[in-house]
Amino acid sequence: MPLSTSLALISLFVAALGFGLLLRFWLSSRQIRHVAQHREQVPAAFAGTISLASHQKAADYTLAKARLGLLEMALGAAVLLGWTLLGGLSALNQALMQWIGDGMTQQLALLVAFVVLSGAIDLPLSWYQTFVLEQRFGFNKMTLKLWLVDLLKSSLIGALIGLPIAALILWMMAAIGNLWWLWACLFWMGFNVLLLVIYPTLIAPLFNKFAPLEDEILRSRVTALMQRCGFSAKGLFVMDGSKRSAHANAYFTGFGAAKRVVFYDTLLAKLSAPEVDAVLAHELGHFKHKHIIKRIVSMFALSLAGFALLGYLTQQVWFYTGLGVQPNVASANDALVLLLFMLAMPVFSFFIAPLFAQLSRKHEFEADAYAVRQTSAQDLSTALLKLYEDNAATLTPDPLYVRFYYSHPGATERLARMQGGASAAV
Ligand SMILES: [Zn+2]
């Protein structure tokens, strides 16, 4: 029975991985073809506002990213097979077992070794993305030194936060019995809420400087807008995003009275005051429509389902053997099962990703509509166009690719909705 179940899992895993890969390659090739075909001409709706040079830069940037994406996809699938069916994770586990013996130290060492090795495998592509791809299009502002310092800092913070959490979850798995997953899930949710609270004030400042917004005119405009919309914020900040990248952004973060507004310096350099207002109003729209809370609640519901499934799979020998791992006979398999679950889940959850992308695009439309009511469609659309142009986001993505992946609607669709105003709103 376990043998046939494990064969069934192997087949299911390989089929899902293969089908997912085919689907991704097909979607990317559609995107590449579509963008390349529309490269020679600015779409009619933007003919007066976007130059041919900008349009072509956006096309080339999108194509370069899509091609790198193909490489990443192939590499990711090979690495995944290496860890699972080809026996990488099993070998790593055995080697550490011989070296350290069993127990909590070995399990933590397995997690650490896995994270370090996967990180090392991803590193060359991450370097290439920053120093070749982003560099070529003028977006990268990082030096190699800053990149290395960032890497060191995030590894240290990851270890400082991650190791105690991993140890605690492993302890729960061993000590609590059958319902460990429920407690682990509650703990995980609590930790995520804590992270949302401490990230803006404790972690983000380790990477960027946050200076109070000095510009008096902008300050009073933004404050007036927030009052009009019924918000109060602890502070308005400018972040030195230009330290790393020319891409521009703004966000509104935090809970209760601790809310703060953060503008990238790159955003303020590019937008006029009314346009900054419109972008902020869009962010406030996300809060007004409770998108953030909705997202957190749905992530929690998914986590609960995930932990419950994990709780069940921990007990199933076929889950290990079906993914190429020989479970330990005399000692705990908790770290192994956590890693296997993390590796195998995305192969299956990939197929429901479009649902979340669609929900996210719906939320973007709602936030746009809110911003239009509070400021003006004109300011929001010129602001968005500037951001699309500065970030070299293509105006002509493949519609099916958008449906599958895009968390934000394409520019054409978005501006059409805004300009349509109340009459087109549904
Ligand atoms: Zn948004």
pLDDT in tens, 6-30: 888 999 999 999 999 999 999 999 9
- pLDDT score of 253 more than 80: no
Task: State mean pLDDT over 27-45.
Answer: 94
Task: State mean pLDDT over 217-246.
Answer: 89
Share of the chain above pLDDT 90, in %: 77
60 is catalytic: no
- pLDDT score of 205 more than 70: yes
240 is catalytic: no
| Least confident segment among 161-170, 303-312, 387-396 | 387-396
pTM value is 0.87
Ligand 1 mean position to 286 CA, how many Å? 7
The answer to whether the beta carbons of residues 379 and 425 sit under 8 Å apart is no
Task: State mean pLDDT over 404-423.
Answer: 82
Task: State mean pLDDT over 47-53.
Answer: 90
Query: pLDDT digits over 327-354, tens only?
Result: 888 888 999 999 999 999 999 999 999 9
pLDDT, averaged across the chain: 91
- pLDDT score of 112 more than 60: yes
Share of the chain above pLDDT 70, in %: 97
Selecting among 134, 334, 368, 390, the annotated active-site residue is 368
| Least confident segment among 89-93, 400-404, 416-420 | 416-420
Q: How confident is the model at residue 81 (pLDDT cuts 50, 70, 90)?
A: very high
Selecting among 275, 277, 283, 389, the annotated active-site residue is 283
| Least confident segment among 61-65, 249-253, 254-258, 317-321 | 254-258
Q: Which residue, among 215, 277, 213, 258, has the nearest Cα to 240 in the 3D structure?
A: 213
214 C-beta neighbours (distance < 10 Å), count: 9
Cα-Cα-Cα-Cα dihedral of 28, 29, 34, 39, to 10°?
90
- pLDDT score of 424 more than 80: no
Task: State mean pLDDT over 370-394.
Answer: 92
CA distance readout (Å), 278 to 226, 284, 374, 384: 11, 10, 8, 9
Give strand pairing partners of 236.
261
Q: How confident is the model at residue 422 (pLDDT cuts 50, 70, 90)?
A: very low
Q: What is the pLDDT of residue 377?
A: 94
Q: How far apart are the first and last CA of the chain?
A: 54
Task: State mean pLDDT over 402-420.
Answer: 89
CA distance readout (Å), 150 to 119, 157, 201, 242, 392: 14, 10, 18, 15, 25
Task: State mean pLDDT over 88-115.
Answer: 94
- pLDDT score of 2 more than 70: no
Per-chain residues with Cβ under 5 A from ion ligand 1? 364, 367
Q: What is the pLDDT of residue 423?
A: 41
Q: What is the pLDDT of residue 260?
A: 84
Ligand 1 mean position to 408 CA, how many Å? 7
Q: What is the pLDDT of residue 421?
A: 52
Ligand 1 mean position to 366 CA, how many Å? 9
Q: What one-letter code names the amino acid at 414? A: R
Ligand 1 mean position to 322 CA, how many Å? 41
Query: pLDDT digits over 141-187, tens only?
Result: 999 999 999 999 999 999 999 999 999 999 999 999 889 999 999 99
